[in-house]
């Protein structure tokens, strides 16, 4: 089984396009596995609901923390549904079934001597829920991400012997047994592991009431990051959260995260798993962060874009497209409404939408809708599959765009409207070839734009579920089909 995860998002504010980006990327891989590879797949996402940050947000709204996170979790569920993102499980850390698994794991680690009682002092950022090391701090003890002063904390805590795993982690990451992608992020973790002193980490907090109590000392709650990281595991345990019967098989095949939470996922998480004698995830893919018009997206700057705003302007598949196409998967990028508009108009309205309706119209006008499909581009299919195997989501999309560009230029060059005038015998072959290509790229679009893909393959009287991607060529070449005109896929925006 393929098992893919996203970070669980802090349930302190409604989702924005940053959290939507990771979740959407995971949806693309999950759909690729389900539809194109026909592999049993479990896609997990959810919300991170404990800790000081959540408690403070609930308090600011004078709400009980549980009621507060209940409402927030619904916002996330609804946002993903609106974007046609289809997780197989939505986990919430305030679910008692998750809490029980977390307690069992920690008790096991404690009994085996991996956890000891001590003191922890350091500089804490509530926004990150993280003690910052010297190299992670901004000037004058500030958080470089939130630009707020760090809080000096000195308290009694239980600590996990993270320092014992330094060499082992370096080896596992270096050898790709635990694969961290892209290469730059792998090097970043290795650099950090080699240079910084790897301190034991606090796994409990003494003064944070909103959390899971430590099973052997209820005067402490479990540190929110330990609670949160274990979601990827608790989801797989039979006594864990209920997802209506289905459950993933541990360990994850692919974990997607943003670069901000790399250390937790590439150091703390695998070390906890090693101590608990559990297998490590196969691959961690770290994508970049996007800024809006050059600024960090934040409540205080008032520049937050919500997924619904994108849907209102571009439709569901349009919103998915502009988000996925605006930056290179794996690196940072800047986005803006102008850029989204331009992607929509150039790539969707003028290219994909226009090519489909042009070729459809030619088939109807010149061939009375009666065509025989030909010309399946094997190289395209193979390159697409290998791009997605390598988690290169941007390349998969680029290949599809290139194909539409190529059909467009071929139309301009061969001028079918002139061939039609002279009843040229090349015409059915040309149109059949373009339609074969359109069918192929339509099928390949399914992970990215599910509804558009259905509409395109629907022109040929089939649906995505019926397509066998392993034999895509054999399915359609030589088939006689009747083509009818349909609604335009992407009406042009007036900007």
The footprint of ligand MSP (CB under 6 A) covers: 7-10, 18-19, 21-22, 48, 228-229, 231, 257-258, 260-261, 289-290, 297
Half-sphere exposure of 110 (CA within 13 A, CB side): 17
Please name the residue that has the structure tokens 């001590």.
118
Minimum Å gap between C-beta 263 and ligand MSP is 12
Minimum Å gap between C-beta 452 and ligand MSP is 24
Closer Cβ to ligand MSP, 288 or 450, answer by number:
288
Minimum Å gap between C-beta 95 and ligand MSP is 14
The H or E element spanning position 125 is: strand 115-125
Is 480:374 a contact under the CB 8 Å cutoff?
no
Both structure tokens of 322: 């502009």
Closer Cβ to ligand MSP, 9 or 158, answer by number:
9
Least Cα distance to 227 among 272, 266, 169 occurs for 272
Closer Cβ to ligand MSP, 19 or 440, answer by number:
19
Is the C-alpha dihedral spanning 51, 52, 58, 64 positive or negative? positive
From the centroid of its chain, how far is CA 365? Answer: 42
Minimum Å gap between C-beta 328 and ligand MSP is 12
From the centroid of its chain, how far is CA 313? Answer: 22
Minimum Å gap between C-beta 265 and ligand MSP is 7
Closer Cβ to ligand MSP, 65 or 258, answer by number:
258
Closer Cβ to ligand MSP, 44 or 449, answer by number:
44
Is the C-alpha dihedral spanning 406, 407, 411, 412 positive or negative? negative
Minimum Å gap between C-beta 65 and ligand MSP is 15
> DSSP assignment of 447-462, as one string?
TT-HHHHHHHHHHTT-
CA distances from 135 to 132, 139, 142, 149, 481 (A): 8, 10, 12, 15, 64
Closer Cβ to ligand MSP, 228 or 446, answer by number:
228
Closer Cβ to ligand MSP, 8 or 212, answer by number:
8
The Cα diameter of the chain in Å comes to 89
Minimum Å gap between C-beta 383 and ligand MSP is 26
């Amino acid at each position: 089984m393929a098992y893919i995860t996203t970070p669980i998002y802090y349930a302190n504010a409604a989702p924005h396009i940053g959290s939507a980006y990771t979740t959407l990327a995971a949806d693309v891989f999950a759909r690729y596995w389900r539809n194109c590879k026909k592999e049993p797949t479990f896609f997990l996402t959810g919300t991170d609901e404990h800790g000081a940050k959540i408690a403070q947000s609930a308090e600011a709204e004078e709400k009980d923390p549980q009621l507060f996170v209940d409402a927030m979790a619904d916002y996330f569920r609804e946002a993903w549904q609106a974007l046609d993102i289809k997780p197989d499980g939505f986990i919430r850390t305030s679910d008692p079934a998750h809490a029980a698994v977390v307690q069992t794991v920690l008790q096991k680690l404690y009994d085996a001597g991996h956890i000891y009682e001590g003191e922890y002092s350091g500089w804490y950022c509530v926004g990150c829920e993280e003690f910052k090391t010297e190299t992670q701090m901004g000037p004058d003890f500030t958080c470089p991400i939130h630009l707020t002063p760090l809080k000096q904390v000195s308290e009694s805590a239980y600590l996990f012997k993270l320092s014992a795993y330094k060499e082992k982690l370096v080896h596992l990451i270096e050898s790709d047994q635990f694969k961290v992608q892209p290469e730059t992020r792998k090097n970043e973790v290795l650099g950090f592991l080699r240079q910084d002193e790897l301190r034991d980490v606090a796994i409990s907090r003494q003064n944070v009431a909103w959390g899971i109590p430590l099973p052997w000392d209820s005067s402490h709650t479990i540190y929110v990051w330990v609670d949160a990281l274990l979601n990827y595991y608790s989801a797989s345990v039979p006594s864990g959260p209920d997802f209506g019967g289905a459950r993933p098989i541990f360990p994850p095949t692919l974990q997607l995260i943003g670069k901000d939470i790399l250390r937790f996922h590439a150091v703390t998480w695998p070390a906890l798993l090693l101590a608990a004698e559990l297998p490590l995830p196969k691959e961690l893919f770290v994508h970049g962060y996007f800024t809006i018009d050059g600024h960090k997206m934040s409540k205080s700057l008032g520049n937050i874009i919500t997924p619904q705003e994108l849907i209102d302007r571009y439709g569901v598949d349009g919103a998915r497209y502009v988000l996925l196409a605006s930056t290179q998967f794996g690196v940072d990028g800047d986005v803006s409404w102008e850029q989204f508009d331009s992607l929509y108009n150039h790539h969707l309205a003028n290219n994909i939408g226009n090519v489909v309706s042009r070729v459809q119209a030619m088939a109807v006008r010149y061939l009375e809708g009666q065509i025989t499909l030909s010309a399946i581009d094997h190289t395209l299919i193979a390159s697409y599959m290998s791009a997605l195997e390598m988690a290169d989501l941007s390349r998969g999309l680029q290949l599809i765009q290139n194909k539409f560009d190529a059909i467009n230029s071929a139309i301009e060059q061969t001028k079918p409207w002139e061939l039609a005038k002279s009843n040229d015998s090349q015409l059915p072959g040309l149109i059949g070839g373009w339609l074969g290509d359109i069918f192929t790229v339509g099928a390949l679009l399914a992970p990215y734009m599910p509804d558009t893909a259905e509409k395109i393959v629907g022109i040929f009287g089939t649906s995505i579920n019926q397509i066998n991607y392993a034999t895509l060529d054999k399915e359609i070449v030589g088939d006689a089909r009747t083509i009818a005109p349909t609604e335009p896929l992407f009406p042009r925006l007036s900007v």
